[in-house]
Amino acid sequence: MSDRMKRYDRRGKKKVVLFFPTPAYGHYRIELALAIAVVAAPLEGEYDLVLVDERVTPDYENEVLRNLDDAVCVGISSITGYQIKRGIAMADRIRRAAPDVPIVWGGYHPSLFPEQTCESLACDIVCIGQGDVTFKEIIESLTAGKPPEEVLGCAYWTPEGIVVNEPRPLTNINEVERAPYHLLDVNRAIGLNMKENHESIRTTEFHSSQGCPGKCGYCADAQLYKRRWTGLDAERVVEEVTELVRTYNLDQVNFSDANFFANQKRVKAICEGFIANGLKIRWVASARPDTFHRYKPEVLELIRESGCKRVIVGAESASGPVLELISKGATAEDHLKTARVCRDYGIGGTFTFITGFPHAPGTPPEETTQDLLDFIEKLKQIHPDIRTKIFVFTPYPGTPLYDLSVQYGMKEPRSLEEWADYNPATMMESQWVEPWERQMIEKVNGFYLPFAYPSSYMQQHFASGPKKWPFRLVHGLALARARTGFYRLPLEWVLFKTFKKGTFEPIA
């Protein structure tokens, strides 16, 4: 029997260790490691659970290593890119310390590449898609002394080759126990965000649905969940969020759902519940540009009244052909309508865009970065509390646009180890965006447009004190530049970059 097979016999073991590696290269706020909390939920009471978040748990490596003796397995969560790198580094330490302990990977990336992930020495078993039920069944197989032969939605290594079991249909998330927040160090995560990310209020995340009915051609969700969506009942969301707010003394809750607004009836009931419970919080959630402006006025009122501070809108493009190419199912007119609805109901909006979608070699892009900046200016003219973020297109596996990018010459990573270096922040060689365009995005979208059309936050921030007059001067200059499109000799930008770290406009 090979070493790997021996690892599947975990009879008598009582601990389950879950590790959440740092998810992304570069600077991001700490979003709570809900993925490992959700998969731990059904195991509570039966196993000793150890949840370790690389960003939050002090001495995280030893926290994993010192719990291996009695471990059924170690679970590692990962999206594509840097998180794999950190996950492999931990898997390597685990292998050296306790070669018998099976390592189970879950999350978006392993789910898209179960076989390739199992081929890596860093992994024995992959949980494909939703993890709540699958992970419990994997644990039950291992503690019964056998590989997860009968577990739907998983893949595993054997000496004869990798076995991929039948897929598991989407589980209604109301059937899953509530996420054990108490196993994550929520207060420390909040404290770190306040200290290192200069957040002034106590914020954490809540996950109220899985999947999305959309079919955007750059998004992994449609591939993984086959355009299905499952949401927690409104009563449960209200009850759990209320308890969370009271336990952790929260000021803001960010919903980490792919599509929080998929069901208007549910959203209405959630808002009514927050109001009835007297919750004095702000909340933020993601909306599709084609649905939010179609919400009924009375529901939009409730959304604002219950504390919705901001909706995050994946607008992506303002060009008809591009929106068609990416199957967004929304038009530029939808984006403008959503901005107007946000303005009329006193809700902030963060519109995210993507530049550099693939186009055939030798042909010009349908939409240039400058076109996007011009459209963003229109949005800001409608509503100054519209924040915007332009991402550079990174083809994510399992999507039609990934396949198109490969067709147009993108080099595909071929192993888990190669995917570890697939990071949007470091992929400076993107074929469809020139380095000068990246600089222009940073300069115009990150500085000139926010100063030309200052949000209420900025206006308050600079309303008085010594910063008032420099702000007015920069505002005047930025507005003149935005109106004329003249961004050369950007002295004020150079000064800003030299003295100010970070941005005035975080996404949420």
Binding site for ligand B12 (CB under 6 A): 18, 23-25, 28, 31, 34-36, 38-39, 75-77, 79-83, 104, 106-109, 127, 130-132, 135, 207, 219-221, 256-258, 391, 394, 396-397, 423-424
Q: How many CA atoms lie within 13 A of 115 on its CB side?
A: 6
Cβ distance to ligand B12 smaller for residue 286 or 306: 286
> From ligand SF4, ligand B12, none, which one binds at residue 143 (CB under 5 to 8 Å depending on kind)?
none
* Cβ at position 320, least distance to ligand SF4 in Å: 17
CA angle 15, 16, 18 (to 5 degrees): 145
Q: Would you state the structure tokens that stand for residue 295, as one six-digit string?
A: 């919400």
CB 89 within 8 A of CB 60: no
Three-state SS string across 71-87, please?
Answer: EEEEEEECCCCHHHHHH
Query: Does residue 219 touch ligand SF4 according to CB under 6 A?
Result: yes
Cβ distance to ligand SF4 smaller for residue 124 or 257: 257
Q: Is the dihedral of CA 373, 378, 379, 384 positive or negative?
A: positive
Tell me the site size for ligand SF4, rule CB under 6 A: 11
> From ligand B12, ligand SF4, none, which one binds at residue 314 (CB under 5 to 8 Å depending on kind)?
ligand SF4
* Cβ at position 34, least distance to ligand B12 in Å: 4
Instruction: Choose the stretch contacting ligand SF4; rule: CB under 6 A; options: 138-146, 210-218, 386-394, 457-465.
Output: 210-218
* Cβ at position 439, least distance to ligand SF4 in Å: 27
Beta strands in 54-120 (DSSP E): 71-77, 103-106
Question: Counting beta carbons within 10 angstroms of the beta carbon of residue 483, is it exposed (0 to 12), middle (13 to 18) or buried (19 or more)?
Answer: exposed
Closest by CA position to 151, among listed 127, 118, 119, 124 = 127
| H or E, element range at 53 | strand 48-53
> From ligand SF4, ligand B12, none, which one binds at residue 178 (CB under 5 to 8 Å depending on kind)?
none
Q: In Å, how far are 209, 265, 369 from 374, measured between CA atoms?
A: 34, 36, 9
* Cβ at position 316, least distance to ligand SF4 in Å: 8
Cα distance from N-terminal residue to C-terminal residue, the chain: 52
**374 by DSSP, 3-state: which?**
helix
What's the alpha-carbon Rg for the chain, to the nearest Å?
24
**209 by DSSP, 3-state: which?**
strand
Amino acid at residue number 271: C
- Sole binder of ligand SF4 in the list 151, 234, 258, 271 (CB under 6 A): 258
- Sole binder of ligand SF4 in the list 151, 212, 373, 386 (CB under 6 A): 212
Instruction: Choose the stretch contacting ligand SF4; rule: CB under 6 A; options: 208-216, 236-244, 331-339, 423-431.
Output: 208-216
* Cβ at position 169, least distance to ligand SF4 in Å: 19
Contact flags string 280-319 toward ligand SF4, x per CB under 6 A: --------x-------------------------x-----
Cβ distance to ligand SF4 smaller for residue 405 or 455: 405
Contacts to ligand SF4 by CB under 6 A: 212, 214-216, 219, 221-222, 258-259, 288, 314
